[in-house]
Amino acid sequence: MDDESLSYAKAGVDIDSANELVRQIKEIAKRTAVSGVMGEIGGFGGLFSLNIANIDRPVLVSSTDGVGTKLKIAAMMQKHNTIGIDLVAMCVNDVAVQGAKPLFFLDYLSMGKLDNSIARQVIEGIADGCAEARCALIGGETAEMPGYYADGEYDLAGFAVGIVDNAKIIDGSEIGVGHALVGIPSSGLHSNGFSLVRKICFDKLGLAVDSNVPDLGGPLGPALLTPTRIYVETIQRLIRDLPIHGLAHITGGGLAENIVRIIPDACSVTLKRNSWEIPPIFRFLQSAGKVSDEEMLRAFNNGIGIVAVVPPRAVQDVIARLQGMNEAAVVIGEIGDRRHSASRVAWVD
């Protein structure tokens, strides 16, 4: 009979190491504090005092998301300090496109064996994203799950909550035929399509993250790991006094499917080919993988991160406002009448 005295640590879970990480997280989270934050990380729940003094009918808007297999790229590059920005972006952008201001954020980080160095990098990235989105990191969970993940692997999920006055919710209900679609650029792949990216780059081409790719002007890895843009400030400044009737965050499903999500059933979408500059990473992937135009448009954002649906009278003002924020915004299409269209989405030259 084996008389060895077992412990949680011998089973693969190091409580002392986890406690040290919590101490570090407390310090990191302090730089994301905003008005309303109560207490500090480490309690059973995050506390936030809601200020609704200037809101007639407050509505909370929530979102949860992850970053998919982009995590594999971070692991291959051994660079973990930007993947947290992606996590925050995927959540707060979804909150912002409904007209809401993000208030606070929570994260879930799960690892096979807790590596405080990696975990700290990830959470520093989350804090950077929260600071950019002007929301507070008020809590989260770091789970050590031995035997569940391969060595060096981890998973991430994020949760964001924002607030908007009921009268200012952007829900697409005012969208009508003739409205313009104004595209706001992405920073690259953002956090979608990475299963296809890995299939093309690593399985088909046999590249490594440090492989030089002339079409990209340098090594592959940094082009793949470029963080998702956070559009919170851009959107808040845009909707402050301009009539924005719809906003689509271009994530999985691409342009066509995400715009359709926000328009009335009676409407269709017409998109203009070649109306915006497609970044090199997308052209490289399409050529290398022999990916059809249709598949590219379903899998990737193709250089457009946000689409604003704008009434004709306001198009020039919206473009001017965005250009004033150094955004290379362009009209990429318009809203049509579904009764006069064979499909919900049409592409024209």
Q: Give the start-to-end residue ranges of the domains of the chain.
A: 15-168, 180-348
Assess if CATH 3.40.50.2300 describes domain 180-348.
Answer: no
Residue 257 has pLDDT above 60, yes or no: yes
Residue 348 has pLDDT above 70, yes or no: yes
Predicted local confidence at residue 218, as pLDDT: 96
Lowest mean pLDDT among 6-15, 166-175, 251-260, 293-302: 6-15
Average pLDDT over residues 253-269: 93
Predicted local confidence at residue 41, as pLDDT: 83
| Model confidence pLDDT, tens digit, residues 100-146 | 999 999 999 999 999 999 999 999 999 999 999 999 999 999 999 99
Q: 36 to each of 136, 139, 301, how far by Cα in Å?
A: 9, 14, 35
| Model confidence pLDDT, tens digit, residues 59-106 | 999 999 999 999 999 999 999 999 999 999 999 999 999 999 999 999
**Percent of the chain's residues with pLDDT above 70:** 98
Residue 279 has pLDDT above 60, yes or no: yes
Residue 13 has pLDDT above 90, yes or no: no
Residue 228 has pLDDT above 60, yes or no: yes
| Model confidence pLDDT, tens digit, residues 17-56 | 878 888 888 888 889 889 999 988 888 899 999 989 889 9
- ∠ CA 285-286-290, nearest 5°, is 115
Q: What is the CATH number of domain 15-168?
A: 3.30.1330.10
Would you say the CATH fold of 180-348 matches that of 15-168?
Answer: no
Residue 1 has pLDDT above 60, yes or no: no
The maximal CA–CA distance of the chain, rounded, in angstroms, is 83
pTM as predicted: 0.94
